[in-house]
A and B are shown apart, each in its own frame.
Chain A
Amino acid sequence: MVTRRLVRVADAVQLTVVLIVLALPIAWTFLSAFKPRTEVAAIPPRLLFTPTLDNFIELFSRNDFLHNTLNSLIVSSGSTLLGLVLGVPAAFAVAWHRMSWPATATLFARMAPGTLFLLPWLLMFSKVGLVGGYTVLILTHAVITLPIVIWVLLPYFETLPRELVESAQIDGARQDQILRMVVLPIAMPGVVVASILSFVFSWNYFLFALVLSGVETKTAIVASFNFIGEGVTNWGALMAAAVIIALPPLILTLLIQRKLVGGLSAGAVKG
């Protein structure tokens, strides 16, 4: 009994250390964002300070950061929607007919480095004059969201009772009706997980917008990168930007924590 208790205490101590190591940098970033400008880079670091919103005010007033954040929202929502529109029917067809090629194709997209596609995309989309617009960003980010949607939904559709669909067919339902009224409601929990993961990964993605966005469509992440490139030493504003970008993924994933790891490793377990 004594050893068991000792093990438990040792476990608790180790886990606490790990949690501190994981949480501290994030906590430090959030604290810094609310520090007065002169104290952000103070040595020794100050833990006690009067919180202020100055960094956020400066971020949004001096820069176009509000516009950048809206761009990020447009691109992430657009690509999530496109991923769902293409991915939900595809995942159902794949699961129903036990096809294997679409899964392979999207797995390929998940494995190849983004830089590989970037040059061809740049050449393709500049031919049709789309570079710098929302369309190209939504289309390219859908390359990230579509595999997520398909892989997250496949297990849901694979366990769908076939009789349900078959009896709807006997009742004379059209195929799109079957998809909307029979299949989707059952897979709804999966659709929620797929949407949140798609949104978060599209929101977090840097490389495609770095090359393909224009002045008007620059996402919040690319805009923050530019602050650093301009040698902005205003750490307060930088940390405020980090907080604004970090909040949506952190909050959204709170909703699906339990399903998160399964969703992210979907596909790899099978592949």
Chain B
Amino acid sequence: MLRTQTLPSYSDAVAAKATEAAGAGGFNTSLAGNSFRWMAAPALLFAGTMIAFPFGYAVWLALSDVQLGSAPRFTGLDNFHRMLADPEFWNGLRLTLLLYVVSLSLQLVIGTWLGLLLARFQSARGLVRTVMVSPFMLPPVVVGMMAIVILDPSFGIANWLLSQLGLPPALWLSNPDTVMFTIAALDTWQWTPFVALIVMGGYLSLPHDVFESAEMDGAHGWTRFRYVTLPLLGPTLITAAVLRSVDILRFFDIIYLTTQGGPGTASTTLNILAYRRGFEFSELGYASAIMVTLSAIVFGSVLMFARLRRAVAW
């Protein structure tokens, strides 16, 4: 089910190629000695041990009461019932979705603008690309370390710049009302260039006679962008959205490094909450229930975009 849902174009391509090969009476892959299938076996074994089994294990933990030192006891959906009654879970869900919506929209909007700008501006490409690539190649932990130093309320350069502009200092990471927006800004700083480069690549690969005829029909500026460029960029933007959604929903490093979910629980997203429950409070079953839920949210968002992709395909 996952395969057909998330990989529509891939499996379509597989089917198409298979028919093509059969039709041409081509290479017979089932001939003994000609099969390379065994070459995938080690990777499959690895994936089974390190991914599939732990995933099943996590689901089983989520359905159990696990106390360290004694055998886990199957308790059905108890952990999920507890989760639904836990204000921290709802708080985490709210923060996860807030980060998701704010970060993703900022990155798609700014990324589209920047990507089209890059496509128009073709000078100094080496330098431009180097600067564009650097933020998202940095370890998130380094971005967190930079944030701690630059956004420090008293000694950081950010507040000094604000004071030079005559603005009051901000409590970037220690104001519970704004901390999620600061975190969204950090992720946006790091990953918008990536979205922009995807958009640039997508735009440059579009058929350019379309733009010329749109131009001749009198579509300029905003009209051209809204009715020609944007629809044509649809599939590209969805690719970018899928990649960013997955990362934003499981966002962890920068939050854990800078605020550890605080102040209070003001930045305790689901991933942070699950981590703390599991590794700081040793509530293995309950933590697993939260993690399974978060995984479902991630898969759900990917499926949603897979459907949307078919809707905007051209």
The chain A residues found within 8 Å of chain B, CB to CB, are 7-8, 11-12, 14-15, 18-19, 21-23, 25-26, 28-29, 32, 41, 43-45, 85-87, 89-90, 92-94, 96-121, 123-124, 139-140, 142-143, 146, 150, 162, 166, 169, 175, 179, 200, 203-207, 211, 221, 224-225, 228, 235, 238-239, 241-242, 245-246, 249-250, 253-254, 257-258, 260-262, 264-265, 268-271
Pick the residue among B47, B160, B278 that contacts A105 (CB under 8 A): B47
A28-B157, A264-B194 known; A103 vs B10 contact (CB < 8 Å): yes
A117-B51, A261-B197 known; A86 vs B42 contact (CB < 8 Å): yes
Could you say which residues of chain B place their CB within 8 Å of the CB of A103?
A: 7, 10
In the complex, the answer to whether B114 meets A245 with C-beta atoms within 8 Å is: no
Q: How far is the CB of B267 from chain A (nearest CB, A)?
A: 16
A14-B117, A120-B58, A261-B197 known; A206 vs B135 contact (CB < 8 Å): no
Interface residue ranges of B110-163 to A (CB < 8 Å): 114, 117-118, 120-121, 123, 128-135, 137-142, 145-146, 148-150, 152, 154-155, 157, 160
How many chain B residues touch the partner (CB < 8 A)?
98
Pick the residue among B26, B34, B120, B141 that contacts A206 (CB under 8 A): B141
In the complex, the answer to whether B57 meets A114 with C-beta atoms within 8 Å is: no
Residue of A nearest to B54 (CB): A120
Main secondary structure on B side of the interface with A: helix
Q: How far is the CB of B211 from chain A (nearest CB, A)?
A: 15
Chosen A-B contacts, 27 in total, with CB atoms closer than 8 Å, are A12-B123, A19-B128, A19-B131, A41-B152, A96-B29, A97-B36, A100-B10, A100-B11, A106-B47, A111-B295, A112-B55, A113-B291, A115-B250, A115-B278, A116-B288, A116-B292, A117-B50, A118-B278, A121-B54, A146-B43, A169-B34, A175-B39, A205-B139, A228-B148, A245-B142, A250-B138, A258-B129
Could you say which residues of chain B place their CB within 8 Å of the CB of A94?
A: 40
Could you say which residues of chain B place their CB within 8 Å of the CB of A85?
A: 42
Interface residue ranges of B1-45 to A (CB < 8 Å): 2-3, 6-7, 9-11, 13-14, 17-18, 26-27, 29, 34-40, 42-44
How many residue-residue contacts, CB under 8 A, span A and B? 283
In the complex, the answer to whether A175 meets B36 with C-beta atoms within 8 Å is: yes
Residue of A nearest to B245 (CB): A111
In the complex, the answer to whether B134 meets A265 with C-beta atoms within 8 Å is: no
